[in-house]
Chain A
Amino acid sequence: MTFVESLLILFFISTIFFHLAKKNIGVAYAYSFQSLLIVILLFNSFLETKSISLFFVAFLVFVIKVIITPIFIVKLIKKHQLKFLVSTYTSMPVTLVVVTILAIIANSSFLVPLTSIIPSNQQSLSLALSSLFISLFLIINRKGALSQIIGVLSLENSIVAFAFFAGLEQTLALQIGIIFDIFVWMIIATFFISMIYKHFGTLNVSEMQHLKD
């Protein structure tokens, strides 16, 4: 197993951890860790390619995703005392079954063309694809707005991980896309989370029931 492959396994474990975590603060720290793994992947690629833009993206991801975003989330949790608000639509056993099924689907023969973009990285691409599906499930399954944001950010990290193992990490397109998405989610997190709390007195999105015909 290579160094980057072991990083990806840790990445996958952190995605699973999002589903297991009972406290919001744990999710925030796990996200910081997951983003750090992405930074290491990008930095490792920079060392190999000496691409300045890649270094710039890695630096930006480090500052925003590893440091600023988790600090912001932790402050928000402390401010609103949101320690035990990580509730889900499905029970833990069902969640784990769904996570397992998603991992199996990502490794299925149906998706082999996708995971064999670079044949030598097939296992890694399957793992990244599993993380992508599992992150999507996190957004759907969690009632908390914070967890949903973490789910979206984790989905984005999974796309970056996939792109890395698909040999697309040097694409300017990927780098611009990441930077812009970070910018967007910083604004969203800063404004909307506080506004939701202000209006609903909670970040539990299942309380949002005003809009039904």
Chain B
Amino acid sequence: MEIFIILISFFGAAIIFLFIKNRKLIEFLSVLVSAVVLFESINIVTKVVQNKVYSPNSLFLIDSLGAIVVLIISFTGIAATVYSIAYLREESSRQIIGFTRVKQYFILLNLFLAAMFLAVSSNNPVITWISVEATTLSTAFLISFYNKPSAMEAAWKYLIINSIGLLLGFFGTLLYLTSLRASGQMGFITWNNLLLNASHLNPIIAKISFIFVLIGYGTKVGLAPMHTWKPDAYSKAPAPIGALFSGALLSVAFLVIMKFKVITDSVVGPLFSQKLFIIFGVLSISVASFVLYSAKSYKRLLAYSSIEHAGIMMLGFGFGGLGIVAATLNIIYHSLVKSTLFFLSGNILLKYRSDKIVNIKGMINVLPITAILFLLNFLIITGIPPFGIFINEILILSEGIKLYPFLTVFVVLLLALLFVGFLKYVTAMVYGKKSPEIIVGEKNIWLLIPPLFLVAITLYLTFHLPQFLKTLLMAVELYY
């Protein structure tokens, strides 16, 4: 029953679309829906911890990694919904958007969240593909939300690149289905069907299929060289949508890749997928490290950081062993911290009316709480001790040094390069002399509560991993 309650986001979107003409009611309904979803997500995770998987019927299945992603979507989802209310009210007060746009926004936001939940919980690889494609559609309209030429350009690039990627992913998915022809199971296909019939798959076809799937869903993750849409889309979408892109959608696409990895590994062994993960991982970190230095917008800076972290996750799963646990933890920390950074970037944008780094000076005086949180989250995301991401990176690199010492040293250098680049920009924004026309003071307490909520969870998880999470992490390590 819980799974249907999660899909309530779909109905939330439909009710807003069909019946509601009052802004406060739309906001209330959206928060209510995300609160119910959060409550039920916790319920589902409890069941996964108890029974290893949650599968109320053959249509839905959530495993340990899926449970973690469900939690990520619901926590970032409620934070984004609450933040969106305050953020859009500020935009409305400046007459940038009207009621119709606000209504469209919340419809699309709920659809986006619902599509992500369906992608994670579906037991059918094609329904999963459709759900991920549905996220493309809903988010394309959110990227073009401000209806400016640059936003339209970002949305178009996003659509074209992601559609090509996802079609290639679909092609890869179809190739996996060739294993089912022998058994004649061409009806409703489940992930388990594919795994059980993997022995019928030609090993070379399994490899080619996985490459297509990795390129396809890797585009959605934002792995280099398919990352080119990411800085554009992240910088043009409203801040809470950027938070969900980086915090939730990345994890969803990653989960799908991991599901196909298990099937491929059962045919050709784990070495093939691990090598691919390492190649894409190093490539993504390299691209982020160097392109970061040319960034002019702080939102694009966050996009490059997401590309880097996608690379780190790939490396963790590529190196295997403890790297898998560390990469999974990195998915959690990255979602929380990057969502927070996107919310804070929204605060900066509302205050300074510019997304250019060069125009942001003296944040510590203008937006003191935002500045301190931005600095803190910058330290966490770049892997400074004692925070969780530091420990994860150490664990991943310690696995890497055993297998690929030179490559690992190269990655360490890249991470140092990223830290220096990031530090240069962040210090320039936080310190320096503010422009006289900028009025000092935070805009609205509700623009601070969602990031504070996520920071509190991040710090809590840094110093204490709850037992249920340890259980899920152990299950992820065993299965993936």
Q: Which of A174, A181, A200 contacts B149 (CB 8 A)?
A: A200
Docked Cα-Cα span, A111 to B208, in Å, equals 9
Task: Say whether A132 faces chain B, with CB atoms less than 8 Å apart.
Answer: yes
With A173-B126, A184-B133, A192-B156 in contact, is A210–B150 under 8 Å at CB?
yes
Task: Please state if B205 and A114 are interface contacts (CB–CB under 8 Å).
Answer: yes
Chain A positions within 8 Å of B235 at CB level = 211
Binary interface profile of A, 117-144, with partner B (CB < 8 Å = 1, else 0)?
1000000000000001000100100000
Q: Is the CB of B296 within 8 A of A173?
A: no
Contact with B along A98-116 (1 / 0, CB 8 A): 0000000000000101100
The residues of B that contact A111 with a CB separation of less than 8 Å are 208
Residues of B within 8 Å of A67, CB to CB, are none
For the complex, give the distance between the alpha carbons of A184 and B236 in Å.
22
B119-140 interface code vs A (CB 8 A; 1 in, 0 out):
0000011110110011011001
- The segment out of A26-34, A81-89, A160-168 that lies at the interface is A160-168
From 158 to 180 in chain A, residues with beta carbon under 8 angstroms from any chain B beta carbon are: 159, 162-163, 166-168, 170-174, 176-177, 180
Interface centre among A166, A191, A208 (most CB of B within 10 A): A208
B175 on the interface (CB 8 Å rule)? Answer: yes
CB A185 to nearest CB in B, in angstroms, measures 8
Q: What is the bound-complex CA distance between A113 and B175, given in angstroms? A: 11
Known: A155-B167, A200-B149. Contact between A173 and B300, CB under 8 A? no
Q: Across the interface, do A159 and B153 meet the contact criterion of CB distance under 8 Å? A: no
- CB pair A173 B133 closer than 8 Å: no
Answer yes or no: A35 CB below 8 A from chain B CBs.
Answer: no
Interface residue A145 (Cβ < 8 Å from any Cβ of B): yes
Q: How many residues of B contact A (CB 8 A)?
A: 54
Q: A114-B208, A171-B177, A213-B300 are in contact. Are A177 and B130 (CB under 8 A)?
A: yes
Query: In the complex, how many angstroms separate the beta carbon of B307 from the nearest chain A beta carbon?
Result: 13
A99 to chain B, nearest CB (A): 18
**Contact between B149 and A199 (Cβ–Cβ < 8 Å)?**
yes
Interface residue A60 (Cβ < 8 Å from any Cβ of B): no
Tell me which residues across on chain A come within 8 A of B436, comparing CB atoms.
none
Check if A152 is an interface residue, CB within 8 A of chain B. Answer: yes
The interface bits of chain B over 133-157 (1 if a CB of A lies within 8 angstroms of the residue's CB, else 0) are: 1101100110010011110111111
A156 in contact (CB, < 8 A): yes
Q: Could you tell me if B163 and A152 are in contact, using CB atoms closer than 8 angstroms?
A: yes
Q: Taking each of A162, A168, A187, which has the highest tally of chain B beta carbons within 10 Å of its own beta carbon?
A: A168
CB distance from A208 to the nearest CB of B (A): 4
Interface 9-residue window, one of B50-58, B181-189, B277-285: B181-189
Contact A208 B157 (CB under 8 A): yes
Q: Is B25 among interface residues, defined by CB-CB distance under 8 A?
A: no
Assess the A208–B156 pair: CB atoms within 8 A: yes
Give the Cβ gap from A56 to chain B, nearest Cβ, in Å.
Answer: 15
B419 adjacent to chain A (CB < 8 Å): no
Q: Does A195 contact B (CB under 8 A)?
A: yes
B181 contact set on A, CB distance < 8 A:
167-168
In the complex, which residues of chain A have a beta carbon less than 8 angstroms from the beta carbon of B294?
213
User: Which one, A148, A177, A200, A213, contacts B129 given CB within 8 A?
Assistant: A177
What is the minimal beta-carbon distance from B456 to any residue of chain A, in angstroms? 33
- In the bound assembly, the distance between CA atoms of A152 and B170 in angstroms comes to 13
* Residues from chain B with Cβ under 8 Å of A148 in the complex: 160
Q: Quick check: B174 and A211 within 8 Å, CB to CB?
A: no
Q: Is B297 an interface residue (CB 8 A)?
A: yes
Q: State whether A113 and B167 are in contact (beta carbons under 8 Å apart), knowing that A199-B149, A211-B235 are contacts in the complex.
A: no
Q: What is the CA–CA distance of A168 and B209 in the complex, to the nearest angstrom? A: 15
Q: Give the interface SS of chain A, mostly helix, strand, loop or mixed.
A: helix
A188 touching B208 in the complex, CB below 8 Å, given contacts A152-B167, A156-B167, A167-B181: no
Query: How far apart sit A113 and B171, CA to CA, in the bound complex (Å)?
Result: 15
Within the assembled complex, what's the spacing in Å between the Cα atoms of A159 and B170?
9
Which of B137, B156, B300 is close to A196, meaning CB atoms less than 8 Å apart?
B156
Bound Cα distance A111, B232 (Å) = 35
Partner of A188, one of B154, B159, B232, B236: B159
A10 within 8 A of B: no
A168 contacts across to B, CB distance below 8 A = 174, 177-178, 181, 186
Contact of A211 among B140, B160, B205, B232 (CB under 8 A): B232
Cβ of A181 and Cβ of B152 under 8 Å apart?
A: no
Q: State whether the Cβ of B407 lies closer than 8 Å to any Cβ in chain A.
A: no
Verify if A205 is at the interface (C-beta below 8 Å from B). Answer: yes
Q: Which of chain B's residues has its CB closest to A169's CB?
A: B186
Residue contact A113 to B202, C-beta cutoff 8 Å:
yes
The interface residues of chain A lying within 8 Å CB-to-CB of B150 are 210-211
Given contacts A145-B156, A173-B174, contact A213 B167 (CB under 8 A): no
What is the minimal beta-carbon distance from A7 to any residue of chain B, in angstroms? 20
Q: How far is the CB of B300 from chain A (nearest CB, A)?
A: 6
24 pairs, CB–CB < 8 Å, chain A vs chain B = A113-B202, A117-B202, A117-B205, A148-B160, A155-B164, A155-B167, A159-B170, A163-B174, A167-B178, A167-B181, A170-B186, A172-B186, A172-B187, A172-B189, A176-B127, A177-B174, A181-B167, A188-B140, A188-B159, A192-B155, A192-B159, A199-B152, A208-B149, A211-B231
Name 6 extra pairs, CB < 8 A, besides A172-B188, A188-B163, A208-B157: A113-B205, A139-B164, A174-B174, A210-B153, A211-B150, A211-B232
Residues of A within 8 A of B (CB): 111, 113-114, 117, 132, 136, 139, 145, 148, 152, 155-156, 159, 162-163, 166-168, 170-174, 176-177, 180-181, 184-185, 187-188, 191-192, 195-196, 199-200, 205, 208, 210-211, 213
Interface set of B (CB-CB < 8 Å, partner A): 124-127, 129-130, 133-134, 136-137, 140-141, 144, 147-150, 152-157, 159-160, 163-164, 167, 170-171, 173-175, 177-178, 181, 186-189, 202, 204-205, 208, 231-232, 235-236, 291, 294-297, 300
